[in-house]
Amino acid sequence: MSGLLEGCKECFGTQNLYEVLQVQNKASENEVKKAYHKVSLKVHPDRVDEGEKQEATRKFQILGKVYCILSDPEKRAVYDETGEVDEENTPEDKDWNQYWRLLFKKITIESIKNFEREYKESEEELNDLKQAYLDGKGSMDYIMTNVLCCTIDDEPRFTKILQGWIKENEVPKFDSFTKESKKKKESRKRKAKAEEAEAEEMKKQLGLNDTADSLQALILERNKKRAGEMDSFLDSLAAKYGGGAGGKKSNKKSGKK
């Protein structure tokens, strides 16, 4: 097994390059690029706390190598045929951050807003909602943390969709979803409102406006203040000031369940 495949296993729990990018092996070149963008946003070193940068950097480098192989028709064909990767022609000292920025234009508030408009109520959002429901075994806390662009205002919509899927036996029935207490729901709402108020206050203290640099500064300041804490702040903040990650397009679903 090669070094790259070992790294994939250690960092992403699989040796399958397609599973690392969360795409099918028949994915088109454009689908592979979009998947690389989406996964890389989750582990980009600029988006994590200082204590997590080393691990995030390694994941980010591995993702770059995976994309280099799957975006190259010849290397991809060799991998598909043999399960092996051509690491000799995949540079070790490549500046993956620069490579990433060349592939994807700088995210702006406008591109973020465009992404949110295209993502919400799309087929992609529904797929992400279903996956989050399954991965979190019905936990709405998990769902609200792991579906892009969502805020507490999306919870009733998500609940209605999930109830429809359960009724149609499209997803299993988890007690954590169907029997969630009113107290827990109210706690989630209070937390979301508190985070929203905290973001507004921090924005005022730092004298920030609704620009991409201001959004990044606000995120970094919050990370410094609460280093290592895992919560839904970044998701709610991104949604409040534009939502999600930029540039990616999704087709609207013709009808919701």
Q: What pLDDT does 130 receive?
A: 96
Position 118 scores a pLDDT of 86
How high is the pLDDT of residue 104? 57
Query: Is there a single domain that holds both residue 98 and residue 170?
Result: no
DSSP string spanning 162-224?
Answer: HHHHHHTTSS---HHHHT--HHHHHHHHHHHHHHHHHHHHHHHHHT--SSHHHHHHHHHHHHH
Tell me: do 115 and 89 sit in the same domain: no
Do 29 and 83 fall within a single domain? yes
- Residue 217 placed within a domain: no
Paired with 122 in beta bridges are 252
Q: Say whether both 118 and 185 belong to one domain.
A: yes
The pLDDT, as a whole number, for residue 17 is: 95
What's the whole-model pTM score?
0.46
Domain boundary at 63, 80, 103, which? 103
Assigned domain for 183 exists: yes
Q: What is the CA radius of gyration of the chain?
A: 19
Which residue, 103, 122, 146, sits at the end of a domain? 103
Using alpha carbons only, give the angle 166, 168, 171 rounded to the nearest 5 degrees.
40
% helix, strand, coil for the chain, step of 5: 65, 0, 35
Answer yes or no: is 87 within a domain: yes
| Residue 197 maps to a domain | yes
What does the pLDDT read at residue 42?
Answer: 79
Q: Is the residue at 215 inside a domain?
A: no
Residue 121, phi-psi category: left (phi > 0), alpha (psi -120 to 50), beta (remainder): left
pLDDT at 253: 42
Domain count, the chain: 2
Instruction: Answer yes or no: do 8 and 92 share one domain.
Output: yes
Identify the domain boundary among 103, 118, 148.
103
> Along the 257 residues of the chain, how does pLDDT read in single tens digits?
458 899 999 999 999 999 999 999 999 988 998 888 888 877 777 767 778 888 888 888 898 889 889 988 989 999 999 988 866 655 555 565 665 555 555 555 566 677 788 888 999 899 999 999 999 999 999 999 888 888 899 999 999 999 999 999 999 999 999 999 999 999 999 988 887 777 677 656 655 555 545 555 555 555 444 433 333 444 444 444 443 433 333 444 434 44
CB 45 within 8 A of CB 57: yes
- Please tell me what DSSP assigns to residue 93: S
CATH, residue 54:
1.10.287.110
Domain that holds residue 12: 4-103
174 lies in a domain?
yes
